Amino acid sequence: MTDILTSLYTMIKKGWSLTDPALNTIGNAVAEAGKDVHLTTGWYEEALQNPQITITPVWGNEHFSSVGYSSAGETELVDLGVWVQIQRATGGGQGNAKAVAEALKEELKRIVRANKRLDTLMLQLGDWRFIPEEDAEPTVLHWALTLKAESYKAVP
């Protein structure tokens, strides 16, 4: 599983374009937020105020092993989480947080689609789902995209 998380981390890091003016098709405020995104294979850190993207395994699911075409394949479900705090005190209210979250979601979807088949990893894209975080202070918007990630190695 660690190899899959590391591969996804590297793919997102290399594919990130929100900070490239030539590729940026979103507003300046969102582009500024895109520069400070915290990307991690760990869990959400409440202490950080900047937007975060987490790459975590979906717990409670079965581990799958491929039969036939793969000698070392494994299939895992992985969540890409987008976390954006609503900064009411600094004037960055819910509307700005939603715009940032939508831009991050679109960027992640673009990266996954562009890299759906890497050298040793094949990805299937799920749907975004909103996850309410009622107890978070300050308020945070949390969206998750589940990927089916399959590592494989061709059989000689």
**How many alpha carbons fall within 13 Å on the CB side of residue 115?**
23
Peptide bond preceding 138 in cis form (omega within 30 of 0): yes
State residue 149's pLDDT score.
85
The pLDDT assigned to 153 comes to 61
Among all chains, which residue has been given the structure tokens 């507003």? 27
The whole-number pLDDT of residue 71 equals 45
| Radius of gyration of the chain measured on its C-alpha atoms | 17
In the chain, the domains with their CATH numbers are: 2-151 (3.30.70.1700)
Dump strand ranges (E) for 107-155: 121-130, 140-151
Closest C-alpha among 114, 95, 99, 119 to residue 23: 114
What pLDDT is attached to residue 151?
Answer: 76
In tens digits, the chain (156 residues) has pLDDT values of 568 888 899 888 888 776 555 444 455 555 555 567 889 998 998 888 888 999 999 875 555 555 555 445 677 889 999 999 887 665 567 777 888 888 889 889 988 888 877 667 788 888 999 998 878 777 889 999 999 888 766 555
